[in-house]
Amino acid sequence: MEYIHAPWRAQYVKNVYKTKGCIFCQALKQEDDREAFILYRGRNNFIILNKYPYTPGHLMIAPFRHLDSPEKATKAAAHEMGDIQVLCLKILRDHYQPQGFNIGMNLGKCAGAGVASHYHIHLIPRWPGDSNFMPLVGETRVVIESLETTFEQLAPRFREHA
């Protein structure tokens, strides 16, 4: 049997329910977008890399305002989120050439939201065979690219649209 080590997952597994405060609000307060993995800031929303991605390029779009549901957002913020989603799709298609995407949001803890108090959209590039037995058997995901590499490759593409 071959072993694939994914030590970065240990921090998540140990701390998934211990995190205090909102990860999105905390990221916005950081002065260094690279350190926070914020790829883009719009007028009302921002794009951030998922620190525990399903696949390379797993992005999240969240509003600046700490809201638990999109119906509480302004019309301008909701429309901008849609425009940013289209921008993400264009950049991810161009850079990674995925054969598909999962796009969605989980509203409320019982719906699977890891951060139920600050709504956000997940955009996950997908390829045939990108999921395997590791999450089921080993409670580990193998991602072929580090967050730093993903940030360095995608950030310049989003800066073109700032």
Ramachandran angles phi, psi of 149, nearest 5° = -65, -45
Out of 5, 95, 120, 122, the active site residue is 120
DSSP state of 125: E
CB distance 70 to 31 below 8 Å:
no
The phi and psi torsions of 95 (rounded to 5 degrees) equal: -80, -45
CA pair distance 117, 22, nearest whole angstrom: 8
**Burial of 146 from C-beta contacts in 10 A (0-12 / 13-18 / 19+):** exposed
The reply to whether 79 belongs to the active site is: no
DSSP secondary structure code for residue 52 in this structure: S
Q: How many CB atoms lie within 10 A of CB 21?
A: 10
Which SS3 state, helix, strand or coil, does residue 154 take?
A: helix
Amino acid at site 1: M
User: Which residues are annotated as catalytic?
Assistant: 120
